[in-house]
Structure formats: structure tokens, C-alpha cells
Amino acid sequence: MSGRKIISFENIKVACENCSLVSLCLPMGLDPDDVEKLDEIVKRNRPLHRGDHLFREGDKFHSLFVVKAGSVKTYAPSEDGGEQVLGFHLPGELIGLDAIENEEHHCSAKVLETSAVCEIPFTNLEELSSQVPSLQHQMYRLLSREIGHDEDILTLLGKRSAEERLAAFLISLSERFKRRDFSASDFYLSMSRHEIGNYLGLAVETVSRLFTRFQDEGLLKVERKHIQLLDIDRLNNIIQGEERNGNKRQYT
């Protein structure tokens, strides 16, 4: 993801107040003094590489993580070697919220490409949030948003056809890139077809076929990991279950 531009790892040790993600991340809506307090508890680690883990299922929970550059996938491994991909996380997105309950990670988080990540020790964050009501409020909002987001995916997996799922996935990426001032219509996928399929509850082959089909229909141009969305409106129509040779969604 991102990818097209070389990320300079010289300047990642910026403070929260200078961070370009300030409007997406925890500091949103905090006043400068409070951002500074938050900044003091945030750790900024050296860059991570493809395949590195932020944490694994079962690890003791210490910190939340925020993607600063690059991308991370979270997944629930199962005994037999399989996994369920739970999400792909872009810059500004928080990881590890499901671990607060038991103080133990409920899923694993693996870096998909060279990435930078901020680490926020939860005990400190929690304490700070009880002193700074606007931070507490922001925390509640972020947790709530995650729930809403999971519910959206639930609807996707429960009711939608394969093509609706892939269209929704691409539009979701597109909108998230846009908010980060990346191109909404021209981007690189940092995850494999396999991972996309797993996330969407589809077989790899189905994902591959759909990419070809979407391309044949002029909806997008795909070359390996490079995606160019050519007709976002039509992709949005597909998500609604409209058109596609006139059939309308039945209600269940």
C-alpha cells in the first residue's frame, strides 16, 4: 500500500502535534497541551518489515498500536494452520482494541510491507484519559467506531455476493486512501489475493476471476498489485446490489 513514494525513515520521530495523521488518530480534538501529554507516552519504534509481528494471539496486552506508514493485517489463527483475516490497517488506524478486555491479545497482527508504527502503552493512556475528558471521549469514540465497522463487515459477509464484496473492499480502500491524501483511484495492494479472499470469505480463484471480470467491464485496471479504479460510481452501484443485469436484491 502507499508504496509508490519512498518513505523517509529519517523523519518518523516527529511528535504527535506535527504528525500528518493528527486528524485521524487519537489526538483528534485535543487541545495542544493535551496533545503534548499524549505525545510523552507514545513510543516510536524503528521501522518494521514485511512479516514482522506487532503481537500474536495470546500475548499479554501492553499497548495499542497506530499505523504511521505502511500497512498491517490482523488475523485470528486457528489450530490447524488456517487463519481468518480480520482487517487491513492503514496509516492512522488503531490496532489492539480487542485486547483490552482480558489484557490478552485476541488476534495476531502482522506487518504487510515496510511500515512505521507508534506504540501507546495502555496503562498510561488509560490514566491520561481519566485526567483529560476529551481524550476519554475520543477513546470511547474510537472503540465505538471499531464496533460499527465490524458490524458493517458482518453485513458484507452475511448477505453480499462475491462481486459485491470485492467492490465494497476496493471502495473502502479507496476512501481510506483518500482521507490520507493518497490517490483514491490509483493505489497498490499490500496484501495478496489469498489474503483478500480470506478476509472477504472467498476463494483465491474467485478473487482473481473477479479482478479480471471487473477489468473486462471497464470498472478498473489491474496489474499485479497495482489497481486503478476507472469507474467508482459503477463500483458503488454494485455494492448497493443494484444493476448487474437488472436483478434486484431480495429481502431476507
Partner DNA sequence: GAAACTACTTGATCCAGATCAATCCTCGCT
Partner DNA sequence: AGCGAGGATTGATCTGGATCAAGTAGTTTC
CA distance 176 to 229: 14
Separation in Å, CA 63 to CA 72, 95, 189, 203: 16, 9, 27, 34
Residues 221-250 that bind a copy of itself (CB under 8 A): 241, 248-250
Query: Site for DNA (CB under 7 A): which residue of 84, 131, 155, 212?
Result: 212
Separation in Å, CA 213 to CA 56, 116, 143: 36, 35, 37
Judged by beta carbon distances under 5 to 8 A according to partner kind, the member of DNA, a copy of itself, none in contact with residue 251 is a copy of itself
Distance of CA 2 to the CA centre of its chain: 13
251 binds a copy of itself per the rule CB under 8 A: yes
Separation in Å, CA 183 to CA 12, 37, 179, 180, 196: 22, 33, 9, 9, 20
Least distance (Å) between residue 117 CB and a copy of itself? 19
139 binds a copy of itself per the rule CB under 8 A: yes
Q: Which stretch binds DNA (CB under 7 A): 64-72, 102-110, 114-122, 220-228?
A: 220-228
Residues 155-184 that bind a copy of itself (CB under 8 A): 155, 157-159
Judged by beta carbon distances under 5 to 8 A according to partner kind, the member of DNA, a copy of itself, none in contact with residue 146 is a copy of itself
Categorise residue 100: left if φ over 0, alpha if ψ from -120 to 50, beta otherwise. Answer: alpha
User: Starting at the edge strand that comes first in sequence, how are the strands of the sheet with 186-188 ordered?
Assistant: 186-188, 226-229, 220-223
62 binds a copy of itself per the rule CB under 8 A: no
Query: Site for DNA (CB under 7 A): which residue of 202, 219, 227, 229?
Result: 202
Judged by beta carbon distances under 5 to 8 A according to partner kind, the member of DNA, a copy of itself, none in contact with residue 209 is DNA
Of 4 and 178, nearer to DNA (C-beta) is: 4
Helices and strands (H, E) in the chain, number of each type: 7, 11
CA distance 148 to 171: 17
193 binds DNA per the rule CB under 7 A: yes
144 binds a copy of itself per the rule CB under 8 A: yes
Query: Site for DNA (CB under 7 A): which residue of 162, 184, 230, 232?
Result: 162
7 binds DNA per the rule CB under 7 A: no
